[in-house]
Amino acid sequence: MKYDSWVVLEAMHNCIAHQDYTRQSRIVITETVDRLILENAGGFFEGTVEDYILADRTPMQYRNPLLAQAMVSLDMIDTMGYGIKRMFLEQKKRFFPLPEYDLSRADIVKVEIMGRIIDENYTRILIEEKDLELSLVVALDKVQKGKPLSDKELKALRKRGLVEGRKPNIFIAAHVAETIGGKADYIRRRAFDDQHYKRMISDIIREFGFAERADIDNLLMDKLSDNLSAEQKKTKIHNLLTAMSKDGLIHNVGSRRHSKWEIKEKI
């Protein structure tokens, strides 16, 4: 019940039709707790995945034309090459994450089919806006998976008011979060402006006379956006301290490894 049977069969049949049999390699299907991973030998044969999802491309040729024709005759694969796009549309209809193609290796095509919801906000948007264009759904799917967006994708999402934040930390916009019941999640993800954090740093230094880096980390780590990883949060704090130091607001009276920050008094 985790998977749409048509989507699984289409992915399997694509592996069979497009396998590079000269490599004498096996088609591998791996099932994990939350996804199916299908791999076949040979690079993506013609065009890009996006060509078939968003541009309605029809393949001009197949790697194995006789095999592909036999499979078309048996209704195993789509004769017009729309199978990949339909896989994405079927997952969209189920409000599930979209298939994920990994073409990082030139000699292998890997596709993952998710069997669980990743982000409830993504799912709620698809439920609320059933007519949302596939290109926007593809972009939203990238947001929920933490993948980078192109400038064009980000602009389109912003135009519809679906996302907020700065690259690479993009998340669902405030009014959308309210509409779909994600207010608390939005607040956790939202980042305050840098001035807010700088004031907090100044306050702790003034209160105790100085603050070590560990003190500042303890103060800010759980207050920075949940969209940031722990390492990104530490980098953010480092950048805040560096900016305040350059602006002549604070200075380090310790060392680089063991910093100790004090307010820089005006002369």
HEC per residue, the chain: CCCCHHHHHHHHHHHHHHCCHHHCCCCEEEECCCEEEEEEECCCCCCCHHHHHHCCCCCCCCCCHHHHHHHHHCCCCCCCCCHHHHHHHHHHHCCCCCCEEECCCCCEEEEEEECCCCCHHHHHHHHHCCCCCHHHHHHHHHHHCCCCCCHHHHHHHHHCCCEEEECCEEEECHHHHHHCCCHHHHHHHCCCCHHHHHHHHHHHHHHHCCEEHHHHHHHHCCCCCCCCCHHHHHHHHHHHHHHHHHCCCEEECCCCCCCEEEECCCC
Within 10 angstroms of residue 122's Cβ, the number of other Cβ atoms is: 22
Within this chain, do residues 26 and 109 fall inside the same structural domain, yes or no?
yes
Alpha-carbon radius of gyration of the chain:
25
Instruction: Find, among 27, 4, 19, 3, the residue nearest to 71 by Cα.
Output: 19
Residue where a domain stops, chosen among 62, 97, 114: 114
Residue where a domain stops, chosen among 189, 222, 248: 189
Within this chain, do residues 179 and 203 fall inside the same structural domain, yes or no?
no
Residue where a domain stops, chosen among 136, 159, 189: 189
Bridge partner list, 261: 211, 252
pLDDT in tens, the chain (267 residues): 789 999 999 999 999 999 999 999 999 999 998 999 999 999 887 778 888 888 777 777 778 889 988 998 888 887 666 788 999 999 999 999 999 999 999 899 999 999 988 888 888 888 888 889 999 999 999 988 988 899 999 999 988 888 888 777 787 665 565 565 565 565 555 556 678 889 889 989 988 899 999 999 998 988 887 777 888 889 999 999 999 999 999 999 999 888 999 998 764
Within this chain, do residues 82 and 177 fall inside the same structural domain, yes or no?
no
Within this chain, do residues 136 and 218 fall inside the same structural domain, yes or no?
no
CATH of the domain at 201: 1.10.10.10
Within this chain, do residues 25 and 55 fall inside the same structural domain, yes or no?
yes
- Specify whether the CB–CB gap between 205 and 265 falls below 8 A: no
Residue 80's pLDDT is 64
Within this chain, do residues 236 and 152 fall inside the same structural domain, yes or no?
no
Within this chain, do residues 140 and 240 fall inside the same structural domain, yes or no?
no
Write out the two tokens for 129. 């806006």
Dihedral pair phi/psi, residue 166, rounded to 5°: -110, 145
Within this chain, do residues 107 and 27 fall inside the same structural domain, yes or no?
yes
Burial of 65: CB neighbours in 10 Å, binned 0-12, 13-18, 19+: exposed
Residue 47's pLDDT is 77
Within this chain, do residues 19 and 86 fall inside the same structural domain, yes or no?
yes
Residue 162's pLDDT is 87
Within this chain, do residues 172 and 222 fall inside the same structural domain, yes or no?
no
Q: Please give the residue range of the domain that contains residue 161.
A: 120-189
Within this chain, do residues 125 and 173 fall inside the same structural domain, yes or no?
yes
Residue 241's pLDDT is 94
Dihedral pair phi/psi, residue 59, rounded to 5°: -65, 140
Residue 68's pLDDT is 86
Q: What domain count does the chain have?
A: 3
Within 10 angstroms of residue 235's Cβ, the number of other Cβ atoms is: 12
CATH of the domain at 29: 3.30.565.60
Within this chain, do residues 220 and 259 fall inside the same structural domain, yes or no?
yes
